[in-house]
């Protein structure tokens, strides 16, 4: 099954553009400007932890920023001596576990578990644990059919970079694009159209489709 992770925030600090406060994010490109530490960076800093580099993405934002689930699953709110407070979301069906650390609070009490859907609010970010600033440490682990972490000995405690799997909010897959084309244009999209729209926002498609439809209806026969 193809892994698609919805971005866990809608606002953040664009540290790569030297923004001094949260700004609304409108795309995956905006989100990437908020990554203050990439996967695999700073090998020397993590050697004492038995890692060969940073095992997630650090996402910069103001304290209290909302953090959302990237996929359906069961959420667990827990505490770690070094990482502070955080939520993990596990889906055995999808074979993934996403990790969100350094929370101020969560929507459920510490020690709780609860079902979540993609886009549900998990809690609010902070700088708990051994953290030097407000951010979310965002990680991904792949699981076998029993829920065990794969490749635990890969040097990152089983983590892999989430970045290749990220999509923006309300983006469309190929099945959804095909359905929309049949509804809007009474035909299947060709290969170029399908490749263009997969991963894009539904609102963007509707804007273009309505414009094209209006032009078609107003054109002389």
Residue 217's pLDDT is: 55
Residue 220's pLDDT is: 62
Q: Do residues 92 and 1 make contact, with C-beta atoms less than 8 angstroms apart?
A: no
CA gap 97, 55 in Å, rounded: 13
User: Could you tell me the pTM of the whole model?
Assistant: 0.81
Residue 101's pLDDT is: 97
How does pLDDT run across 61-87, given as a tens digit for each residue?
999 999 999 999 999 999 998 889 999
Q: What is the 3-state secondary structure (H, E, C) of 4-33?
A: CEECCCCEECCHHHCCCCCEECCCHHHHHC
Residue with tokens 């405690």: 157
Residue 173's pLDDT is: 80
Q: Do residues 73 and 113 make contact, with C-beta atoms less than 8 angstroms apart?
A: no
3-state SS class at 106: strand
Residues of the chain with pLDDT under 70: 1, 213-221
Residue 216's pLDDT is: 55
Task: Give all domains of the chain, ordered by start, each with its CATH number.
Answer: 5-167 (2.70.70.10), 174-218 (no CATH)
Phi, psi of 178 (to 5 degrees): -60, -40
Contacts for 194-201: CB closer than 8 Å, 24+ residues apart:
197/172, 198/172, 198/173, 198/174, 199/167, 199/168, 199/171, 199/172, 200/171, 200/172, 201/168, 201/169, 201/170, 201/171, 201/172
Residue 35's pLDDT is: 97
CA gap 216, 205 in Å, rounded: 16
3-state SS class at 104: strand
Residue 13's pLDDT is: 96
């Amino acid at each position: 099954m193809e892994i698609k992770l919805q971005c866990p925030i809608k606002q953040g600090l664009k540290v790569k553009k030297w923004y001094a406060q949260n700004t609304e994010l409108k795309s995956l490109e905006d989100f990437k400007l908020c990554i203050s530490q990439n996967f695999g960076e700073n090998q020397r800093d993590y050697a004492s932890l038995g890692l060969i580099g940073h095992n997630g993405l650090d996402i910069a934002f103001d304290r209290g920023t909302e953090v959302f689930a990237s996929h359906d699953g069961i959420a667990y709110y827990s505490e770690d001596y070094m990482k502070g407070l955080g939520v993990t979301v596990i889906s055995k069906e999808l074979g993934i576990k996403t990790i969100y650390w350094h929370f101020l609070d969560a929507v459920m009490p510490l020690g709780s578990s609860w079902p979540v859907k993609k886009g549900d609010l998990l809690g609010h970010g902070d700088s708990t644990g051994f953290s030097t600033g407000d951010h979310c440490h965002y990680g991904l682990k792949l699981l076998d059919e029993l829920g065990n972490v794969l490749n635990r000995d890969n040097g990152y405690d089983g983590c892999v970079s989430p970045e290749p799997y990220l999509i923006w909010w309300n983006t469309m897959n190929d099945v959804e694009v095909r359905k929309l084309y049949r509804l809007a244009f009474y035909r299947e999209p060709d290969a170029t159209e399908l490749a263009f729209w997969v991963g894009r926002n539904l609102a963007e498609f509707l804007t273009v489709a309505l414009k094209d439809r209006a032009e078609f209806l107003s054109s002389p026969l």
